[in-house]
Amino acid sequence: MSGGELNLEGLDLDGPLPPAPPTEGMKSRQELIRRIADENNFSIRQLYQWIASARGHFTIVGSAVQIADTLQDWFENEGADGFNILPPWLPTGLNDFVDLVVPELQRRGLFRTAYEGKTLRENLGLPFPQIRWSTAHSEAAE
């Protein structure tokens, strides 16, 4: 076992999570997982199942309306200003989100229905780079 790793060999998976050794790496993640285990009184097995389901991230399960309700609540109450979607399987899980949840969010005015710009750069508000050999550059050099 190297720094920060927790060896679970020989422990009862339905028993409590033992204290973790000090680490210099990934402290915030380790603290988050520990806090979740403690707050929920998770056994080793329950913690594993919770982490394996969504890599330790908040999981929303339900109909498109229920999922949209949760996302709207988080957004409007400043719990989040955006979301990363981690579907349980690809591509079907992502397709379901796009086909079912996105239209519900659009009906609520929470997800755009069109883009203002014509390019990704414009929509992200990024400046156009100077092209080294553009006509303007050539004329200025003369």
Identify whether residues 99 and 52 lie together within a single domain: no
Report if residue 130 sits inside a domain. no
| Burial zone of 47 (CB within 10 Å; 0-12 exposed, 13-18 middle, 19+ buried) | buried
* Shared-domain flag, residues 16 and 43: yes
- State the total domains in the chain: 2
Strand partners, 6: none
Note whether 49 and 84 are same-domain residues.
no
Structure pTM? 0.57
Q: What confidence score (pLDDT) does residue 137 get?
A: 52
User: Does a structural domain hold residue 4?
Assistant: no
Residue tagged 């097995």 (tokens) = 45
Three-class SS of residue 131? coil
pLDDT digits (tens, 9 = 90+) for 12-22: 999 988 887 77
Residue 2 covered by a domain: no
DSSP string, 63-102: -HHHHHHHHHHHHHTTS-S------SSTTHHHHHIIIIIH
Domain that holds residue 50: 9-56
Determine the longest span between alpha carbons in the chain, in angstroms.
79
Q: Are residues 70 and 106 in the same domain?
A: yes
Is 138 contained in some domain? no
- Please identify every stretch of the chain with a pLDDT value under 70, giving residue numbers as ranges: 1-5, 25-26, 53-56, 134-142
- For residue 64, the model assigns a pLDDT of 96
Query: How high is the pLDDT of residue 1?
Result: 39
Q: Are residues 29 and 77 in the same domain?
A: no
Residues 52 and 68 reside in one and the same domain: no
Same domain? 36 vs 77: no
Same domain, 49 and 74: no
Q: Are residues 86 and 114 in the same domain?
A: yes
Q: Is there a single domain that holds both residue 13 and residue 42?
A: yes
**Domain shared by 16 and 32, yes or no:** yes
Residue 129's SS3 state is coil
Question: Do 89 and 50 lie in a common domain?
Answer: no
Q: Cα 68 to the chain's mean position, in Å? A: 16
Cα–Cα distances in angstroms (integers) from residue 94 to residues 38, 42, 67, 74, 83, in the given order: 32, 29, 13, 20, 13
| pLDDT value, residue 8 | 82
Confirm whether 129 is domain-assigned: no
The packing angle between helices 44-54 and 27-40, to 10°, is 120
